[in-house]
Amino acid sequence: MKLQVSVDLLSLEQAMNLLQEVSPYVDIIEAGTPLIKQEGLKVLTTFKQYFPDKLIFADMKTMDAGGLEAEMAFKAGADFTTVLAVSNDSTIEGAVTAARKYGKYVTADLISVSDRVSRARTLENLGVNYLELHCGLDEQANHLCTSTADELTALRNAVSISLSAAGGINEKTIQEVEAAGADVAAVGAAIYSANSPAEAARRLREKINSQG
Ligand SMILES: O=C(CO)[C@H](O)[C@H](O)COP(=O)(O)O
């Protein structure tokens, strides 16, 4: 399983300071939605420039103009862009077409989808590369998330495309997420809010490695 750090900080300077510390332990660097909104797409270009051996994930959370927004992210340096799974199929198709043109990837974020298994099957048919099971920050704050492991298992049984999990994952839960079939675990606060982000990322990496 790959480890993704979700950089939900509000300045490029803070983001770069964090990444200098944690990048050795992660496979994927995510520019969080608030960071992209605050600093612009240049964060993607900067991440790619300084960390060329990492995959760069743009959490665009696109809801409309799928082709245009995906193209913007890929041109700026992203390897992945996200589109909201609740958006119209034509929006998803636009993002998928752009990803194919650039040889990059689309992740559909299942946040706020009620029938996730049914939507997952449609999204697979539409050509998305990854499905992200995501408990958002507001849902976490209001204790609205159900079991990530059970949900992942249901998705794993329903589709063949890659799965990622995001939302409140930490050292205690990362092995459960991997065992349930995730190909990527995205971790934000458990890394950037830790006393030592580098140590937190190192321990998460160790948990993944020890799972085999
Ligand atoms: O996309 C996000 C919020 O919309 C976050 O990046 C994602 O939830 C992971 O962060 P955390 O581990 O802090 O929950």
| pLDDT-based confidence at residue 147 (cuts at 50, 70, 90) | confident
| pLDDT-based confidence at residue 145 (cuts at 50, 70, 90) | confident
- Is the CB of 197 inside a 6 Å radius of any atom of ligand 1? no
pLDDT tens-place string over residues 65-120 = 999 999 999 999 999 999 999 999 999 999 999 999 999 999 999 999 999 999 99
pLDDT tens-place string over residues 156-201 = 999 999 999 999 999 999 999 999 999 999 999 999 999 999 999 9
Q: What is the pLDDT at residue 7?
A: 98
Q: Return the ∠ at Cα 78 (arms to 169 and 9), rounded to 5°.
A: 45
Domain tally, the chain: 1
Q: What is the largest CA-CA distance in the chain?
A: 44
Domain residue limits at 183: 2-211
Q: What is the pLDDT at residue 209?
A: 86
Q: What is the pLDDT at residue 198?
A: 98
Which CATH number goes with the domain that contains 156? 3.20.20.70
CA-30 nearest atom, ligand 1 = 6
Q: What is the pLDDT at residue 212?
A: 61
- Is the CB of 84 inside a 6 Å radius of any atom of ligand 1? no
